[in-house]
Amino acid sequence: MAELKAIDFFCSIGGMTYGFRKAGIDVIAGLDIDTSCKETYEYNNPGSKFIEANIKEYSFEQLKKDTRIKEYDDMMIFIGCSPCQYWSIIKTDKTKSNLSKNLLNDFQRFVEHFKPGYVVVENVPGIMKRSDESGLDKFIPFLERLGYAVIYDILNANHFGVPQNRRRFTLIASRINSDISLPEGNKNKIPVVKDFIGVKKGFSKIKAGHFDKTKFKHSAAGLTENNLKRIKLTKKNGGTRERWSRIKDLQIDAYDGKDSSFRNVYGRMSWNKPAPTITTRFNSLSNGRFGHPNENRALSIREGATLQTFPKSYVFKEKSLGRIAKHIGNAVPPRFAKCLAKELLKVGNYGV
């Protein structure tokens, strides 16, 4: 029986690629403009080629040359998980991400030319809420005009074995099977923080500023004197900044009188709850509820990767911890990706 294979557009360090490979799908190549992802991607996904390219300038002929794929391949999956910062609900400066906001249109060109058997798209829910701007309102009818059956919804990765509340727009389309479906998650048995990190899970106690020289990368960002005071005062296992909000030297000017707003900022995670969405700044105490449940620091690099369901054996080759955190936060959780891949295998009855 022929086997499914895939091209992972906007592959980053390979979260989607890794999950698909674990499900038994041959990911021929991943394509990304960020060259800093290459070594990590290829080291952890041997046999999957990293193609450094700007999709806006990359040609169909070059993709065929680089991968030897062909048009109208019923066993081919095109995966399009474009950078999502512009469509995120997180209030950050969108100037830098403005250039990448319409990458779905560029992905569409490749789908139109090659017409693979299957298409998978994963992104933040904002791409659906602002579909006229993101191009989604044109992308779905485009697929249907080409004869694809299309199904999509907002799924929470927490229902698929990922220990964080991570709501994602998820689309599966097929040109050869009309009876398609999204995977069904389990809302009754959700993983939580203590299931993945902590001393019992192999994470030694460390202090803020600890640098792990090993491949494990259990490294934590340093804290200013005031931030160290803040985290020490923050109640363990789910506490907020409320405890120090009345201390003049520690209160943040932007939150003065707004204790009921932005409660996650400077907060600690709870052992018995899912983590918040792991973002590109998960190793920073001031960027969300990224305080360790009981240690006086923010999450380490490896803890963030583990909450994203990267295996502990996944090696991050980039030297910059900030860049590694960005890569991890941008990634599709491999466990969620594996669930999507297994659904494709089931839909096509490919050995499942």
Q: How many residues does the chain have?
A: 352
Q: Which residues are 52's β-sheet partners?
A: 32
Alpha-carbon span 5 to 29, nearest angstrom: 10
Half-sphere exposure of 69 (CA within 13 A, CB side): 30
Q: Could you say which of 11, 37, 84, 339 is catalytic?
A: 84
Cβ burial of 24 (10 Å; 0-12, 13-18, 19+) is: middle
How far apart CA 325 and CA 138 sit, in angstroms, is 33
CA separation for the pair 164, 193 (Å, rounded) = 8
Known catalytic membership, residue 84? yes
Token digits for 82? 């474009």
- Nearest residue to 333 (alpha-carbon basis) of 302, 301, 313, 307: 307
The residues annotated as belonging to the active site are: 84
